[in-house]
């Protein structure tokens, strides 16, 4: 019986740690817990990386949205200023009413038109 078969029949498995530079035969429960720990570490690392990517993506989306809203508000403010200027110009215009001679009703008809404007 070779060494590998003997250890397997005894319920043990070979555990390798190449990063640490060793390998050993351990009871199956130890090996399973070692694999379980490796899986947990892998999943934990994967979740952390996913969280980091999601946060950076959300941050980028928020920055883009903020820039968009800021530019839109700037454009709306410019439009409001233009409308205010237009209203002020219209308020300051001098209204000249020329009434043909046949349509006059005395002197106060033209006066009423000027005040209405």
Residue 7 in contact with residue 22, Cβ under 8 Å? Answer: no
Q: In this predicted model, what pLDDT tens digit does every residue of 3-33 receive, in sequence order?
A: 555 545 555 555 555 565 555 555 556 556 6
Stretch (H or E) spanning 112: helix 108-116
Cα–Cα distance, 11 to 4 (Å, whole number): 11
Residue 99: closest CA among 85, 116, 86, 84: 116
Residue numbers of the domain that contains 56: 3-116
Overall number of domains in the chain:
1
Task: Tell me which residue has tokens 């508000």.
Answer: 73
The structure's pTM equals: 0.43
Mean pLDDT of the chain: 73
């Amino acid at each position: 019986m070779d060494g590998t078969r003997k250890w397997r029949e005894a319920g043990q498995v070979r555990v390798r740690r190449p990063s640490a530079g060793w390998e050993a035969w351990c009871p199956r429960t130890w090996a399973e817990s070692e694999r379980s720990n490796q899986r947990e570490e892998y999943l934990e690392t994967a979740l952390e990386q996913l969280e980091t990517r999601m946060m950076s993506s959300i941050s980028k989306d928020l920055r883009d949205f903020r820039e968009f809203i800021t530019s839109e508000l700037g454009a709306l403010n410019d439009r409001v200023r233009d409308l205010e200027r237009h209203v002020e110009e219209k308020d300051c215009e001098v209204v000249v009413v020329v009434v043909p001679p046949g349509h006059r009703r005395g002197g106060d008809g033209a006066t009423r038109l000027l005040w209405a404007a």
